[in-house]
Chain A
Amino acid sequence: MSETILEAHGLVKRFGDFEAVRGIDVSIARGESFGFLGPNGAGKTSTMRMISAVSAPTSGSIRIFGLDPTTDGPAVRSRLGVVPQEDNLELELSVRLNLEMFGRYFDLPRRVIRERTRELLAFAQLSERAEDRVDDLSGGMKRRLTIARALINQPELLILDEPTTGLDPQARHLLWDRLYRLKRDGVTLIVTTHYMDEAEQLCDRLVVMDHGRIVAEGAPRALIEQHSSREVVELRFSTDSHEEFLDVLAPFAPRVEALPDRALLYVDDGDATLHDIHASGLTPASALVRRSSLEDVFLRLTGRTLVD
């Protein structure tokens, strides 16, 4: 692909004795949108903080814009936009001053700050609340303001850690729309999310992390093809544990998994499988055939589900 905007090798982050990130290699091209997926505690946020030139890696190397963030931190950060997982707005300041002050940190001229603040307030749908104290906003409004704030310096690389957590569906689509437009303008995006649909929609390429390591990497469709079957049959039985059905279902599919509330059969032809199951006399309370999704890949790779 084109120019590499971010490159990391053997990235490790240790907190005391605990190794949160255990050797990560990524290379991201300018204009790409790149995703980090993984269960809670996988090390996504720790990684994001290293690649946003905030926390120094315990070992390994990072180059962003061709610069080393440990020595050129300010220069790197001046070209980044960061949406942290936890909002960290200035609760003592108004909505407008939150944006304006952030612009000052980037040494932007006041006139530029005023213009961008107006535009970003509109984007965050907070123009009416501009003079209110941030403390009085709802959770989702604070989130929108945090996202808007990250755009004040028109970053080349935007790093978003679970940006849509806490947003209503409308605000979520508004953000997606904005991200598409930024991407069209050449901005590189790095996103973490727990919403698999979001990852499929937004990311050209993604990695799945687990226990501080990358366990898979690729385009969403490619990952699905590689790590899951074409279709999935979802069965619900009236039982306390779907694990009891694993043995019975095993002959019907190359791979069967039991979740607390349903059993999943990974097959090529879902309808045919379902037909066979009914013919065998099994009577699930409900049955559904669907295409494989990123969620299936995630469940498979992070071992959050049980048997293979």
Chain B
Amino acid sequence: MLTRVLPSFGSRRSWRVFERNFMVYRTQWLMLVSGFFEPLFYLLSIGIGLNRLVGTIDVGGRPISYAAFVAPGMLATSMMNGAVIDSIFNTFFRLRISHAYDAVLSTPLDVTDVALGEVWWALARAAVYSASFLVCMTLLGDTVSAWVILCWPAALVVSLAFSSLGLAATTYIRSWQDFDLVSLVQLPIFLFSATFFPISVYPRWLGALVAASPLYQAATLMRGLGLGQFSWVMIPRLAYLVALGAVGLTIAARRFRRILVP
């Protein structure tokens, strides 16, 4: 599905947008460092704090440490947060404040190159951060299966889904005030997506709502891969995330065009 959506627009010139973001990132080393430390903070706080309190947890008839239970979900959360910062905040700035994209469009690049370039960038960023997360996770002893390596490609899919949705959402944001709305959506997704505890703790009606959350699907998928517990349900979960990504990207490309070249 991705391969059907992506090549239908954009060209190799989209790499220039990637290059541009890299240039900006190099000057913002603090952001780079914070992105690296974020997973470490997550894992340490859980490992040292909650792990003692909660002890082991039963997943699929097998007791595992709470840290090992929660770490894959944290990875999914970290992918979401990274996508929000990059796809929403930074893109909004270039789209509405500095009008940097307008300048790019007076060069040989076109709108689809810009949208695609941002996707490449989001993927590369996710690849680096999820890898560093998985390394930290392993070093801290929060892995229980070698299958955890599959969390890496899965993290890219998760990141793509959130980045695409983020790009699409950004095009509807008019002012900095609207970012409160972003938090209003992001926070409940973060808190209620069963990343900290199994979905079975919710009453059934709420459970159905939670199941629609992309973060829940992402976290559950990651947990299954991380624990090496495979099931056919992973396929619709993956398909759901890919579909959200494709829808987000399609909307984003259309809205970018409307805003940038009316």
A90 vs B19: C-alpha distance when bound (angstroms): 13
Q: A56-B261, A90-B98 are in contact. Are A84 and B27 (CB under 8 A)?
A: no
The interface residues of chain A lying within 8 Å CB-to-CB of B104 are: 105
Query: Cβ of A54 < 8 Å from any Cβ of B?
Result: yes
Interface residues of B in 70-108 (CB under 8 A from A): 93, 97-100, 102-108
Residues A74 and B24 in contact, CB atoms below 8 Å apart: no
Residues of B in contact (CB 8 Å), total 25
> Which residue of A56, A78, A90 contacts B103 across the interface (Cβ within 8 Å)?
A90
The interface residues of chain A lying within 8 Å CB-to-CB of B28 are: 92
Residues of A in contact (CB 8 Å), total 31
The interface residues of chain B lying within 8 Å CB-to-CB of A78 are: 107-108
A82 vs B104: C-alpha distance when bound (angstroms): 11
Residue of A nearest to B28 (CB): A92
Residues A84 and B103 in contact, CB atoms below 8 Å apart: yes
The interface residues of chain B lying within 8 Å CB-to-CB of A15 are: 262
> Which residue of A54, A75, A91 contacts B261 across the interface (Cβ within 8 Å)?
A54
A104 vs B108: C-alpha distance when bound (angstroms): 10
Residues A97 and B109 in contact, CB atoms below 8 Å apart: no
A54 vs B104: C-alpha distance when bound (angstroms): 10
Residues B261 and A92 in contact, CB atoms below 8 Å apart: no
The interface residues of chain A lying within 8 Å CB-to-CB of B262 are: 15, 55
The interface residues of chain B lying within 8 Å CB-to-CB of A75 are: 108
A51 vs B198: C-alpha distance when bound (angstroms): 59
Query: Cβ of A89 < 8 Å from any Cβ of B?
Result: yes
A52 vs B102: C-alpha distance when bound (angstroms): 12
Query: Cβ of B20 < 8 Å from any Cβ of A?
Result: yes
Residues B108 and A93 in contact, CB atoms below 8 Å apart: no
Residues A105 and B98 in contact, CB atoms below 8 Å apart: no
A107 vs B107: C-alpha distance when bound (angstroms): 10
A94 vs B13: C-alpha distance when bound (angstroms): 22
Query: Cβ of B201 < 8 Å from any Cβ of A?
Result: no
Residues A74 and B100 in contact, CB atoms below 8 Å apart: no
Query: Cβ of B255 < 8 Å from any Cβ of A?
Result: no
Residues A105 and B261 in contact, CB atoms below 8 Å apart: no
The interface residues of chain B lying within 8 Å CB-to-CB of A97 are: 23
Residues B23 and A105 in contact, CB atoms below 8 Å apart: no
Residues B24 and A52 in contact, CB atoms below 8 Å apart: no
A91 vs B107: C-alpha distance when bound (angstroms): 18
Residue of A nearest to B105 (CB): A54
**Shortest distance between the CB of A102 and any CB in chain B (Å):** 7
A15 vs B16: C-alpha distance when bound (angstroms): 30
Query: Cβ of A88 < 8 Å from any Cβ of B?
Result: yes
Residues B106 and A82 in contact, CB atoms below 8 Å apart: yes
A106 vs B104: C-alpha distance when bound (angstroms): 10
Query: Cβ of B142 < 8 Å from any Cβ of A?
Result: no
The interface residues of chain A lying within 8 Å CB-to-CB of B109 are: 74, 105
Q: A15-B262, A97-B23, A101-B20 are in contact. Are A91 and B100 (CB under 8 A)?
A: yes
Query: Cβ of A211 < 8 Å from any Cβ of B?
Result: no
Interface residues of B in 42-83 (CB under 8 A from A): none
B→A interface (CB under 8 Å)? 11, 13, 16, 19-20, 23-24, 27-28, 93, 97-100, 102-110, 261-262
